[in-house]
Amino acid sequence: MKTNAKKSIMNLAPVFGLIVLVAAFLIVGHMKGINISYGLKSVINQSVVVAVVATGAVFIYTLGSFDISLGASVAVSAILGGMVYIKTGNLLLMFATCIGVAVLVALTNSVLASIFNLPVFVTTIAMLSVLNAMVLLLIGINGTGSEISVPSDAVAHLDNIPFKVAVLALYILACVFIFNFTPIGRKEKFLGGNPLCAQLTGISIKKYSIIAFIISGIGVGLGAFLSIVYAPTLTRSTASSVGMDVIIAIVFGGMPVSGGARSKIYAALIGAFSMTFLSQIMTLFNLNSGIGQIVKAAIFILVVFIAASNHRQKELPR
Amino acid sequence: MKSNSIIKRVLGAVCIPIITFLIIFIICQSRGIALFDSKSHWIIFLRAVASVMLTTFALSINLNSGRFDFSIGAISLLSSVISAQICIKLGLPVVVMLLISIAVGMLLGLISGTIYVITKLPPIIVSLGVTLLYEGIAFAITAGYGVSFVTNYELTSFPSIRNYLLVIVIALALIILIFDYTSFGYKYRSLLSGQKVSINTGIKEIPNALGCYIIAGGLMGVVGVISSTNTGTIQMSLNFGSIGVMFTAFLPMFIGGFVGRFCNEKIGYLIGAITTAFISLAYARLKVDSSVQQIITAVILVCFLIYLNNEKKIFKFKKTKKE
């Protein structure tokens, strides 16, 4: 009984972590005399893209895989979406392009991995290189040489918190439904936990891997669209940190890297907001970027260590 | 029969770099460009071989054991920052910079490994945290400005054919010695092929894992010196900017894995590094845009892996077609 209670508390460590960080932000913000509502808006603006992309990525992580090219995919989708808007002036077409390109990239990754039997991490590393290069080429060919600008008037009416939160909420609700209440989620958890056993019961790893990448691609496309809405001037640094932020957010939120039954869809949301609150607290303390990153690293390892303390094996994990 | 087998093995080992060289040579010749036109081209080539070979060793030591390590780039960055700062302040020669960088790299590897064995977290997670930590320390030490010693003749005197050849030969010999001729290496290979069985037979996994992290750290210390003494500057990276170093090692690592069927796997990594160095030199000589370089390298990597992972199917298909 006591062990079960301890397990539950440990599993909720990321949630407690987020609560502590929110409280710390409010207390420090109040002490420093900052505008709290402006600070919270800033947190939402910074978290929403990572949260959307990371929520979709949970489906890939559940299979025990990971995709390092997500940030670069956000950038390419946003740039191509921006280019389409500049040519057509049609916002819907820009949205469709963002989603279409992101899903196409995800499909390429999954087809290469599942049809040609390539290790997913290598496929996505190769894709990361290609996409990063494409960002530079597309900006060089189509923009002013250093940027592609979508007129800010075109997206100004969408650059508000209710719209962003609505997009995030709708996507998360859809993902929660698929993950927790449909065979897709259950089979993906089974595949992540014991791929051999799952395949022997007739579950196709190829099919569910492709589905996972498509769901993740939709999240990337939404992230790309939200990136344009927040910053319509697209440069080589657009979404440059999203890729690694997504990995950090998912892990920070309590998602096991090995995937399987312990995977949690809410991990992405908690992780994304926790990391942003942490960054904001560092900024409030005027910490030099280097020191801020050291503190961030220490807290990251500590939280993940506490969250994973129920699941330690005798051998070193691989 | 025996000589046939030797010829087959030699051909298998050298076919990839030779084919790569011939393709590149033909492309360069068709454009009227000589691949090795001057001494500086040999220096560029050997620098790429040394740097890529060491990074491939560092990556593969842990990756082959299922430990994905994002932090090797950050170790290279921080060890070169610390060694360069000390040598600039004390006016020490470049050899001392190399030794300090190796020592610091080993220490950083030890810290990284210790966090891994104490926390027992998946290595990929530990390496993410450690990358952030080391990048942050390097940034804080230099106040974000990086290190510059462009005018320091002593420290920028490292790039030379002799030095790079020495680095390649010594590192290769040491790695073969450690992993093929010591009990540490036997235990490493045993753990690699069966973790549980090896532990049950009495092999201590923790010292072996720590040893791997220390060796990988030392190798990345050398890579840090090679890259910083080339330009005389060390630029700072934050938010995982240092992980790019790791990507350079994937193609040679897989080439090495393929070539390893015909010769020692470590020599395979050297051959992989030589192949990628040919490609890098060709990019430089043909003035290929860096974005296009990235795309070509990624496509080569994927094509090579598609072949490698579907080799049996391809041969089976060919055989059925013949019949």
Provide φ and ψ at A149, rounded to 5°: -110, 120
Amino acid B322: pLDDT: 67
Sort out which chain B residues have CB atoms less than 8 A from A245's CB and list them: 239
pLDDT in tens, A15-74: 888 999 999 999 999 988 888 888 899 899 889 999 999 999 999 999 988 888 899 999
Amino acid A263: pLDDT: 86
Nearest CA distance, A318 vs chain B (angstrom): 5
User: Pick the residue with more confidence: B219 or B33?
Assistant: B219
Q: Do B121 and A118 touch (CB under 8 A)?
A: no
CATH for the stretch A39-309:
1.10.3470
Mean pLDDT within A95-110: 95
Amino acid B12: pLDDT: 86
Chain A (45-74) residues lying within 8 Å, Cβ to Cβ, of chain B = 66
Q: Which of A129, A244, A318 sits opposite B66 (nearest CB)?
A: A318
Residue B4 has pLDDT above 80, yes or no: no
Domain spans, chain A: 39-309
Sort out which chain B residues have CB atoms less than 8 A from A257's CB and list them: 122, 124-125
- Rounded-to-10 torsion of CA B123, B125, B130, B135: 130
pLDDT in tens, B81-120: 999 999 999 999 999 999 999 999 999 999 999 999 998 8
Residue A315 has pLDDT above 80, yes or no: no
Which of A76-90, A237-251, A300-314 ranks highest by mean pLDDT?
A76-90
Q: Do A293 and B239 touch (CB under 8 A)?
A: yes
Provide φ and ψ at A235, rounded to 5°: -125, -175
Amino acid at A194: N
Residue A268 has pLDDT above 70, yes or no: yes
Amino acid A3: pLDDT: 65
Q: Do B132 and A291 touch (CB under 8 A)?
A: no
ipTM of this predicted complex?
0.84
pLDDT in tens, A216-267: 999 999 999 999 999 899 888 888 778 878 888 888 888 887 788 888 888 9
Nearest CA in chain A to B298: A126
Residues near A144 by Cβ (< 8 Å), separated by ≥ 6? Answer: none
Mean pLDDT within B129-145: 92
Q: Which of A291, A305, A316 sits opposite B117 (nearest CB)?
A: A316
Sort out which chain A residues have CB atoms less than 8 A from B238's CB and list them: 289-290, 293
- Rounded-to-10 torsion of CA B137, B140, B141, B144: 120
Sort out which chain B residues have CB atoms less than 8 A from A130's CB and list them: 294-295, 298-299
Query: Best of A114, A291, A293, A306 to disrupt the B interface by mutation (most B CBs within 10 Å)?
Result: A293
Nearest CA distance, A92 vs chain B (angstrom): 30
Sort out which chain A residues have CB atoms less than 8 A from B133's CB and list them: 293-294, 297-298
pLDDT in tens, B291-300: 899 899 889 9
Q: Do B121 and A291 touch (CB under 8 A)?
A: no
Sort out which chain B residues have CB atoms less than 8 A from A134's CB and list them: 291, 295
Q: Do B302 and A118 touch (CB under 8 A)?
A: yes
Q: What's the pTM?
A: 0.88
Between CA B79 and CA B104 the distance in angstroms is: 5
> Any chain B CB within 8 A of the CB of A278?
no
Range from A135-144, B22-31, B129-138 carrying the lowest mean pLDDT: A135-144
Chain A (98-117) residues lying within 8 Å, Cβ to Cβ, of chain B = 112, 116-117
The H or E element containing residue B74 is helix B72-90
Sort out which chain B residues have CB atoms less than 8 A from A133's CB and list them: 290-295, 298
Q: State the angle between helix axes of A36-62 and A183-193 in degrees (0 to 180), rounded to the nearest 10.
A: 70
Residue B199 has pLDDT above 80, yes or no: yes
User: Pick the residue with more confidence: A14 or A1?
Assistant: A14
Between CA B74 and CA B177 the distance in angstroms is: 27
Amino acid B239: pLDDT: 78
Q: What value does the mean pLDDT of chain A take?
A: 88
Mean pLDDT within B236-255: 87
Q: Which of A242, A243, A217 has the alpha carbon at shortest distance from A107?
A: A217
Amino acid at A229: V
